[in-house]
Amino acid sequence: MRKIFFLLFFLGLFFGVCFSSYAEWASVLPPDVSSNWSLRAVHLTSSNEGWAVGVDDSEILTVNGVLLHYTNGTWESVIPPDVSLSWWLNSVYFVSTTEGWAVGQDFFNRKGIILNYSDGSWKSVNLPEVGSWWGLLKVHFPSPTEGWAVGSIDLIDFSRAVLLHYSNGSWELITLPEVSSNWSLNDVYFPSSDEGWAVGWDFLKSLNYKGVLLHYTNGSWEAVPSPDVSASWYPLSLHFTSPMEGWAVGADWTNKKGLLLHYANGVWESVAPPSVSSDWWLRSVHFSSPTEGWAVGKDNSNIRGVLLHYSNGSWKLVSSPEVSDRWELYHVHFISPSEGWAVGDDNFNSEGVLLSYSSLLDLTGQWTSLVQTCINTPKRNKCFIRGSFTIQNTGSQKVSSSAVKFYLSDDNTYDEKDTLLKEGKTGNIGVGQNKVINFGYSFPFGETASGKYIIAAIDADNVIIESNEANNHIAYGPIP
Which residues contact residue 276 at a Cβ distance below 8 angstroms, ignoring those fewer than 6 apart?
257, 258, 299, 306, 317
Domain that holds residue 338: 2-7+24-358
- Secondary structure letter of residue 451 according to DSSP: T
Query: The domain that contains 388 carries what CATH number?
Result: 2.60.40.10
Q: What count of other Cβ atoms lies within 10 Å of the Cβ of residue 373?
A: 9
In a domain, 446, yes or no: yes
State pTM to two decimals.
Answer: 0.76
Are 351 and 404 in the same domain?
no
Residue 381: per-residue pLDDT: 87
Of 49, 86, 40, 47, nearest to 67 by C-alpha is 40
Beta strands in 359-442, from DSSP E residues, in sequence order: 363-375, 382-393, 403-409, 419-425, 434-442
Looking at 154-220, list the stretches that DSSP marks H as alpha helix, in order from N- to C-terminal side: none
478 upstream amide cis, omega within 30 of 0: yes
Query: The domain that contains 150 carries what CATH number?
Result: 2.130.10.10
Alpha-carbon distance of 378 to 113, in angstroms, equals: 85
Between residues 370 and 468, the one the model is more confident about: 370
Residue 158: per-residue pLDDT: 52
Residue 19: per-residue pLDDT: 29
Q: pLDDT tens, 368-398?
A: 999 999 998 777 889 999 999 999 998 767 7
Q: pLDDT tens, 250-264?
A: 999 999 999 999 999
Q: Give the whole-number percent of the chain exceeding pLDDT 90.
A: 77
Secondary element (H or E) of residue 298: strand 292-299
Alpha-carbon distance of 433 to 393, in angstroms, equals: 6
Strand, coil or helix: what is 337?
coil
**pLDDT tops 90 at residue 2:** no
Are 335 and 458 in the same domain?
no
- Report residue 180's pLDDT band, with 50, 70 and 90 as the boundaries: confident
**pLDDT tops 50 at residue 40:** yes
Residues 324-349: what's their mean pLDDT? 95
Specify which residues 285 forms β-bridges with.
295
Residues 119-130: what's their mean pLDDT? 94
Residue 206: per-residue pLDDT: 53
Alpha-carbon distance of 431 to 433, in angstroms, equals: 5
Which of 314, 329, 358 corresponds to the end of one domain?
358
Residue 136: per-residue pLDDT: 97
In a domain, 97, yes or no: yes
Q: pLDDT tens, 206-244?
A: 566 899 999 999 999 999 999 999 999 999 999 999 999
Residues 143-164: what's their mean pLDDT? 85
Residue 469: per-residue pLDDT: 82
Residue 360: per-residue pLDDT: 72
Which of 327, 358, 389 corresponds to the end of one domain?
358
Residues 201-208: what's their mean pLDDT? 71
Residue 181: per-residue pLDDT: 82
Are 146 and 178 in the same domain?
yes
Are 352 and 382 in the same domain?
no
The radius of gyration of the chain from alpha carbons, rounded to an integer in Å, stands at 26
Please give the C-alpha separations between residue 191 and each of 39, 242, 396, in angstroms, as whole numbers.
Answer: 26, 6, 34
Between residues 349 and 208, the one the model is more confident about: 349
Are 351 and 410 in the same domain?
no
CB 120 within 8 A of CB 89: no
Looking at the 3D structure of the chain, how many domains does it have? 2
Q: pLDDT tens, 263-291?
A: 999 999 999 999 999 999 999 999 998 98
Are 105 and 190 in the same domain?
yes
Q: Per-residue DSSP letters for 80-93? A: PP---SBEEEEEEE
In a domain, 14, yes or no: no
**pLDDT tops 80 at residue 155:** no
In a domain, 162, yes or no: yes
In a domain, 295, yes or no: yes
Are 331 and 418 in the same domain?
no
Are 256 and 290 in the same domain?
yes
Residue 405: per-residue pLDDT: 96
Between residues 312 and 212, the one the model is more confident about: 212
In a domain, 117, yes or no: yes
Residues 95-119: what's their mean pLDDT? 96
Alpha-carbon distance of 196 to 405, in angstroms, equals: 40
Instruction: Using the CB atoms, write b or e for 208-231: b if 16+ within 10 Å.
Output: bbbbbbbbbeeeebebeebeebbe
Which residue type, as a one-letter code, is found at position 271?
A: V
**pLDDT tops 50 at residue 3:** no
Q: Give the whole-number percent of the chain exceeding pLDDT 70.
A: 93
